[in-house]
Amino acid sequence: MEIIIKASVAEAQDEAARIMAAQIRTKPASVLGLATGSTPIGVYQLLAEFHRAGRLDFSKVITFNLDEYVVLTPNHPQAYREFMRQHLFSKVNIAADRIHFPDGLAADVPAHCEDYEAAIRRVGGIDLQLLGIGSDGHIGFNEPSSSLASRTRIKTLTPRTVKDNARFFPHANEVPRHVITMGVGTIMDAHACLMLATGESKAEAVAGMVEGPITADLPASILQMHPRCKLVLDEPAAAKLRRAEYYRWIYENKPIWQRV
Ligand code: F6R
């Protein structure tokens, strides 16, 4: 895992956006796995700015979002489809038929989940998967105890995640209890992963993910097994890493050709 520690949230977002932009420039028809939540908002803003400045073309990009709430209508203000429309898709030149989400209204959820997996396979897999991390170590909405080999399926959120996400809803009771999420195995199949984590509320989960044992108790820890995973942090999110100085040393001494 490549660990990049930046001095501020803005610098961490900038680094993540530059990695994503480099992916799209290298392969214009990139398949991107996308995340929602508060962490990537700044990254999407930067990608939209690059596009507005004529420096980034999304016309061939294909996207698959990690997850969607079950039962929220697609245009519900808190539906992840609406989140993505607001923060990225309405601001760049991506065609609607290249955008994919799990369908929180699917009548046959298992069949829909299989279709989602098949759609990812049909386009050759995800080139770059953007990830955030939950304070309990979830990726996508693979909560602690999720199988590390899991595929796209329905999951029940933990009370802690419901509480974390309540800030987006008028009342905690309105946070859906279920989501459809790519599985841990689905995420691990991505050719490359990029996780952005910022703020002290993520420090413990980040330390467990990087320096703890690989365990379903902290699903993000499976990323230790991913051959191409970058983790971009700000200082507060990196605060509990035992080897933070070493990670900084590696980054500072990187050969120029290895940088984005
Ligand atoms: C969202 C997702 C989640 C979030 C995580 C962190 O699509 O997959 O795993 O990345 O819950 O959320 P924030 O960024 O709001 O702290």
Domain map of the chain by residue range? 2-254
pLDDT tens string, the chain, 260 residues long: the values are 999 999 999 999 999 999 999 999 999 999 999 999 999 999 999 999 999 999 999 999 999 999 999 988 888 999 999 999 999 999 999 999 999 999 999 999 999 999 999 999 999 999 999 999 999 999 999 999 999 999 999 999 999 999 999 998 998 899 999 999 999 999 999 999 999 999 999 999 999 999 999 999 999 999 999 999 999 999 999 999 999 999 999 999 999 888 77
Max alpha carbon distance in the chain (Å)? 53
Q: In ligand 1, which atom is closest to the CA atom of 131?
A: 10
- 39 Cα–ligand 1 center, Å: 7
Catalytic (active site) residue 11: no
Q: Are 213 and 176 in contact (CB under 8 A)?
A: no
Q: From the candidates 68, 117, 136, 234, which is the catalytic residue?
A: 136
Would the pTM of this model clear 0.95, i.e. be above it? yes
- In the sheet that 67-69 helps form, which strands lie side by side, from edge to edge? 67-69, 178-181, 153-156
Output the six-digit token pair for 1: 């895992």
Q: Are 22 and 249 in contact (CB under 8 A)?
A: no
- 112 Cα–ligand 1 center, Å: 22
Catalytic (active site) residue 171: no
- 40 Cα–ligand 1 center, Å: 9
CATH top-level class of 2-254: alpha beta
| Residue nearest atom 3 in ligand 1 by C-alpha distance | 140
- 107 Cα–ligand 1 center, Å: 25
102, containing H or E segment: none
Catalytic (active site) residue 97: no
Catalytic (active site) residue 138: yes
